[in-house]
A and B are shown apart, each in its own frame.
Chain A
């Protein structure tokens, strides 16, 4: 099917561009010596993640990602940075002395995981079936969430409430 083939090729190209951008930005997050730069790199990673969701026919999740993650969480981060940064002073070194060990562990874990994944899933393909296309629609998600996962939904909302109250209490100036 040429349509499918070209779509597949286009998606793969798009995937790779976004993936490389995300990888570089992720490394930027953990290696940048400026906190604000790190936050901005994080924005790139989050945006890239949203793009990947769209590629995976999960529009709703992608938009929620943009809204919540980039729209709220990053703002929170920036506020946190602002409040915890000594003004008029450059950031000191932002890495501690176990960089090397951490790098080794991360690489090691990455290696293990990759080996595992390659061994497990080999050349499995994500097929763009009609079911897939219908899966990510908000209607479907809503259907699933409010029917099958209603209780977790409610629990999560309680959790949000607790987190909200907790954050206010903890950070209160008294």
Chain B
């Protein structure tokens, strides 16, 4: 298999996730887009691990999966709190840091 296939797939997923992060209004959807980005990174790591026949990449991706899980947990907790405080998860309305 051509290595580049996997890598370009990973790049595509990353950019799609980037679009979602930048363009979505719902906070949960933004978190989902972040998951997309993380998955793209995972694919990259595992592809390289296979290319090099080195298990380090896979170990790393396991860690990333773990971290992603933790991050989603905390992120959703925060989103819940925002929802409780302002009855909406619309990021356009969370502009209290306006300068």
At the interface, is chain B mostly helix, strand, loop or mixed? helix
A46-B39 CB under 8 A given contacts A96-B92, A109-B18, A166-B77: yes
A interface bracket (residues with beta carbon within 8 Å of B) = 35 or more
From B2, B16, B17, B33, contact of A125 by CB (8 A): B2
Taken together as a complex, chains A and B put the C-alpha atoms of A159 and B14 apart, in Å, by: 25
> Interface residue tally of chain B, by bracket?
35 or more
- Interface residues in A13-55 by Cβ distance below 8 A to B read 15-16, 19, 22-23, 26-27, 29-30, 35, 38-39, 42, 45-46, 49, 52-53, 55
Say which residue of A22, A58, A101, A168 sits within 8 Å of B46 (CB atoms). Answer: A58
CA distance A144 to B62 in the complex (A): 12
Q: A65-B65, A121-B4 are in contact. Are A105 and B22 (CB under 8 A)?
A: yes
Give 1 or 0 for each of A149-163: 1 = CB within 8 Å of chain B CB: 100110010011011
Q: A58 to B51: give the CA distance in the assembly, Å.
A: 12
Query: Which B residues between 27 and 69 are near A, CB-CB below 8 angstroms?
Result: 27-29, 31-33, 35-36, 39, 42-43, 46-47, 49-51, 53-56, 58-59, 61-63, 65-69
Give the interface of B toward A (CB within 8 A).
Answer: 1-9, 11-20, 22-29, 31-33, 35-36, 39, 42-43, 46-47, 49-51, 53-56, 58-59, 61-63, 65-74, 76-81, 83, 89, 91-92
Please name 6 pairs of A and B residues whose Cβ atoms are closer than 8 Å in the assembled complex, sorted by A.
Answer: A29-B32, A45-B13, A53-B43, A65-B65, A106-B15, A148-B59
